[in-house]
Chain A
Amino acid sequence: DAKTTQPPSMDCAEGRAANLPCNHSTISGNEYVYWYRQIHSQGPQYIIHGLKNNETNEMASLIITEDRKSSTLILPHATLRDTAVYYCIVRARVYNQGGKLIFGQGTELSVKP
């Protein structure tokens, strides 16, 4: 699975959009980009995933560059409850080998009033 690079920390003002970048320059054609977040001391929570098209759900939007070497997770209107560590993970979807994910260090997002 491709390695990802994320900034260790970011700040965002409450109510503004939070844009979290992720670099995955060695991504392969069959690898997906997944985002999870971990609010303090809790288990990680799935946010969104994508292959090459931009994706949006009720939590966030995922923008993947055309060459797929980087992506951005967008929280459109960040709230204090979005303060968490955000993990960008790249993996291939291979049948019957489990959905196991390899977590990196993530980005610690602090949403400030």
Chain B
Amino acid sequence: NAGVTQTPKFRVLKTGQSMTLLCAQDMNHEYMYWYRQDPGMGLRLIHYSVGEGTTAKGEVPDGYNVSRLKKQNFLLGLESAAPSQTSVYFCASSYQTDYTGELFFGEGSRLTVL
């Protein structure tokens, strides 16, 4: 049982390039989330999804787009990468009907924008 898998784990981009981070979960979770974490800081929510075909903005959505075409996948896109988007990105998922609040996190994707 893989849980939450993020790809790629590492990526270096040049300013202005685009890329997509993929998050896949095999737990049949309804909810999925993208967070970013900068050095010395806690996690900040970028976007989240409460079900297939739906997405919503979090705390820091600017410069990012997301899509949830399939229940098990949540994609985070950077259309024109900027150095300020250098960060570690974490994907998470959770149940809908279980209200324990337990989020299951992936191992992170480390993105550097030069």
Q: Enumerate chain A interface residues (CB-CB to B < 8 A).
A: 32, 34, 36, 41-46, 49, 87, 91, 93, 95-106
Bound-state CA distance A98–B103 (Å) is 10
Interface of B is mostly: strand
From A43, A93, A97, A104, residue with most partner B Cβ within 10 Å: A43
Bound-state CA distance A93–B101 (Å) is 8
Using A41-B108, A43-B106 as known contacts, say yes or no to A103 and B101 having CB atoms under 8 A apart: no
Q: Check if B58 is an interface residue, CB within 8 A of chain A.
A: yes
Residues in chain A near residue B33, CB distance under 8 A: 98, 100
Stretch binding the partner chain, chosen from B14-22, B43-51, B77-85: B43-51
Q: Enumerate chain B interface residues (CB-CB to A < 8 A).
A: 4, 31, 33, 35, 41-45, 48-50, 56, 58-59, 88, 90, 92, 94-96, 99-108
Partner of A101, one of B49, B50, B101: B101
Q: Contact at B105–A97, with CB atoms within 8 Å?
A: no
Partner of B101, one of A34, A42, A95: A34
Q: Contact at A100–B45, with CB atoms within 8 Å?
A: yes
Using A44-B90, A99-B31 as known contacts, say yes or no to A49 and B105 having CB atoms under 8 A apart: no
Bound-state CA distance A41–B90 (Å) is 10
Residues in chain B near residue A44, CB distance under 8 A: 43, 90, 92, 103, 105
